[in-house]
Amino acid sequence: MRSDVDFYEVLGADRNASQKDIKKAYRRQARKYHPDVNPGDEAAEQKYKEISQAYEVLSNKEKRGQYDRFGHAYQQARASGQASAQDFGTFVYEHFGSGSFADIFGDMFGNIGVSAGRRRTRVAQQLQRGQDIHYQLPVSFADAVRGIQKTLTLTVADRCPECDGLGGKATTCPTCGGSGVSQQSGGVFSFQATCPQCQGSGEIITATCAKCRGGGEVSRTRKIDVKIPPGVQSGHKLRLAGEGGRGFRGGASGDLILEIEVQAHDFFKRDGDDTRIKVPITFVEAVQGATIRVPTVNGQVSLKIPAGTRSGQRFRLRGQGAPKLDGKGRGDQYVEVYITTPRKLTHEQRELVDKLAQTRMEDPRADLPQGL
């Protein structure tokens, strides 16, 4: 890198940028100039090396402080050998020579045009654990409260068992001899970089897999028994070990992670371990008081309504809520009553209402202001 180049300009970052923003800027530039995206473009490769060197300095708090203090003099010292070239060589190997573009950035930049064939060849030679599979599992309100044993039928995209996800028959790369790296030189630096033929995998694909047609994945349908514990709530996750994606080269399978989504109920609502419900009462029950039957998740129970109860008043039924996940007791149920108004009255009932209206009763609007 020329000694007069500003590291911040190379990354396209502000001098006051946070370390997080520096990393974002590096990734933004790296995905643009990475050799995997620009095969055979020497200018892009040189630009990527400059980006890597700039990030090696600015991502290190101590080195960044020295650079901010001494500026170009710091670069000249590094170029003349006063700074450790080995540190940069190691950095480039880890971030540039350790794998292909998709290895470094994963699925974050999976839509920029790295070919499917090159993605299939970027495999580590060691065994790898399969991916975890996340699945949102809808559960009825009643099943979430009571618990249930369910049999799920899942269809997922999984690693092809015939080619182990490679997409075809693999053989040792003749260029690197299976090491996945090659020795390269860049100015005063000498470092190991990704093998240009196998993209760091140490292998090349010589024949397309007939089962997955080179895609490396096939659909897999299976039935799984899962136990939903009583009292489960939305957002709760159940992990089923070994039921996820197939491992690579004999690696263990990943896990299946089920995220519970409790469906709404027409009457009951959950509030943690507590349940809530609205229950109608008549005007007479509210005035005189009464004992009524109300539903709970455990069945109907009696609730005493005191005389003079108002609409919107809440009552607590201890231990009538949902069971706790730890098995230690249950929550409570809260009953909110509201007074209903009869739509039709008989002649006799209307006369009684008229007589009641003629008696002196408290004014419910007495506390309202007269105006502004």
Here the CATH number for the domain that contains residue 218 is 2.60.260.20
- Are 227 and 294 in the same domain? no
Q: pLDDT class for 84, splitting at 50, 70, 90?
A: very low
Strand-pairing partners, residue 299, are 296
CA–CA separation, 16 and 33 (whole Å): 24
- Are 234 and 274 in the same domain? no
Supply the pLDDT for residue 27.
85
Residue 164 included in any domain = no
Residue 159 has pLDDT above 90, yes or no: no
Q: Look at residues 86, 114, 142 and tell me which one is the last residue of a structural domain.
A: 114
Residue 229 included in any domain = yes
- Are 341 and 312 in the same domain? yes
CATH of residue 93:
1.10.287.110
CA–CA separation, 289 and 322 (whole Å): 28
- Are 278 and 250 in the same domain? no
CA–CA separation, 77 and 14 (whole Å): 23
What letter does residue 59 receive in the DSSP assignment? T
Supply the pLDDT for residue 53.
85
Question: Where do the H-state alpha helices sit in 59-160?
Answer: 61-70, 72-79, 85-95, 101-105, 116-121, 141-146
- Are 260 and 137 in the same domain? yes
Residue 185 has pLDDT above 90, yes or no: no
Mean pLDDT of 138-167: 86
Sequence-distant (≥ 6) Cβ neighbours of residue 106 within 8 angstroms: none
Residue 189 has pLDDT above 60, yes or no: no
Supply the pLDDT for residue 194.
77
- Are 329 and 293 in the same domain? yes
Supply the pLDDT for residue 361.
74
Cut 0.85: pTM above it: no
Supply the pLDDT for residue 2.
55
- Are 250 and 273 in the same domain? no
Supply the pLDDT for residue 138.
93
Residue 348 included in any domain = yes
What does the mean pLDDT of the chain come to? 79
Residue 148 included in any domain = yes
pLDDT tens sequence across 114-131:
333 333 334 344 577 888
- Are 140 and 248 in the same domain? yes
**How far is the CA of 304 from the CAs of 31, 35, 286, 322, in angstroms?**
69, 77, 11, 22
- Are 298 and 253 in the same domain? no
- Are 282 and 341 in the same domain? yes
pLDDT tens sequence across 238-250:
999 988 877 776 7
CA–CA separation, 71 and 42 (whole Å): 27
Mean pLDDT check: name the lowest of 77-91, 179-193, 223-237, 313-327. Answer: 77-91
Q: Look at residues 249, 264, 279 and tell me which one is the last residue of a structural domain.
A: 264
Q: Look at residues 201, 234, 264 and tell me which one is the last residue of a structural domain.
A: 264
CA–CA separation, 292 and 325 (whole Å): 30
- Are 137 and 257 in the same domain? yes
* Residue 359 vs residue 288, higher pLDDT: 288
Q: pLDDT class for 265, splitting at 50, 70, 90?
A: very high
Residue 367 included in any domain = no
- Are 32 and 64 in the same domain? yes
Q: pLDDT class for 107, splitting at 50, 70, 90?
A: very low
* Residue 100 vs residue 266, higher pLDDT: 266
Provide the domain count of the chain: 3
Strand-pairing partners, residue 134, are 257
Residue 2 included in any domain = no
* Residue 12 vs residue 85, higher pLDDT: 12
Residue 188 included in any domain = no
Supply the pLDDT for residue 239.
93
Q: pLDDT class for 4, splitting at 50, 70, 90?
A: low
Residue 94: is it exposed, middle or buried by C-beta count within 10 angstroms (0-12/13-18/19+)? Answer: middle
Two structure tokens written together for 115 = 């070919």
Supply the pLDDT for residue 191.
58
- DSSP secondary structure letters along 250-305: TPPP--EEEEEEEPP-SS-EEETTEEEEEEEE-HHHHHH-EEEEEEETTEEEEEEE
Residue 109 has pLDDT above 90, yes or no: no
CA–CA separation, 329 and 206 (whole Å): 63
**How far is the CA of 49 from the CAs of 96, 187, 195, in angstroms?**
8, 11, 16
Two structure tokens written together for 260 = 């519970």
CA–CA separation, 372 and 364 (whole Å): 20
Residue 40 included in any domain = yes
Do 267 and 144 contact (CB within 8 A), yes or no?
no
Residue 69 has pLDDT above 80, yes or no: no
Q: pLDDT class for 262, splitting at 50, 70, 90?
A: very high
Which domain, by its residues, includes 298? 269-358
End-to-end CA distance of the chain: 75
